[in-house]
Amino acid sequence: MCLRVISKGKLIVSVSFIAEYRGSILTSDQHFVDLHQTALIDRVSQVGPILDRLLKSGVITADGYSDVIAERNNQKKMRALFDGPLKGCGPECKDQFLEILTELEPYLINHLKLE
C-alpha cells in the first residue's frame, strides 16, 4: 500500500507501507490464515484438492475430511474447515495449510500478502 500526500498539485510525501511477513506470522501476531479467514472462505476455489492434501499430510482426519467435503459449496466447505479441523490446530498445521494454499491458489495468496 502506498500513501501519497498531495498539496497544490505537488507530491509532498510518499510513504510505502509494507507488512512484515515472517514465515507464517504477520506482525500482528495472528497467523496469516486467521488474519485472512474471511477472504479465504469467500475466494478459495480448489477446496477438494486442498482437503485431499490436508488429509494426506495429517492435518485433518478422515472424519474431518468427510464432514467438510459433505458441505454443498466451496464457501460452506471452507467455513466448515475453519470451524472444525483448523479451529484447534496449532501454527504448524496452519503453516501446512498455508503451503498448500500457496501451491494451489498462488494468485489469491500473493494478493492477500500484498494487502
For the stretch 28-55, pLDDT in tens is 688 999 999 999 999 999 999 999 999 9
Q: For a pLDDT cut of 90, what percent of the chain falls above it?
A: 70
Range(s) of the domain holding residue 50:
29-114
In 3-state terms, the chain is what percent helix, strand and coil (to 5)?
Answer: 55, 15, 30
Q: Quick check: 26 pLDDT over 90?
A: no
Q: How many domains in the chain?
A: 1
> CATH code at 88?
1.10.533.10
**Mean pLDDT of all residues in 48-76:** 97
Instruction: Specify the 3-state DSSP secondary structure of 13.
Output: strand
Q: Is 104 inside any structural domain?
A: yes
Q: Quick check: 22 pLDDT over 50?
A: no
Q: Is 1 inside any structural domain?
A: no
Q: Is 17 inside any structural domain?
A: no
Between the two ends of the chain, the Cα-to-Cα distance in Å is 7
- Per DSSP, which regions of the chain are E strands? 2-7, 10-16, 21-22, 25-26
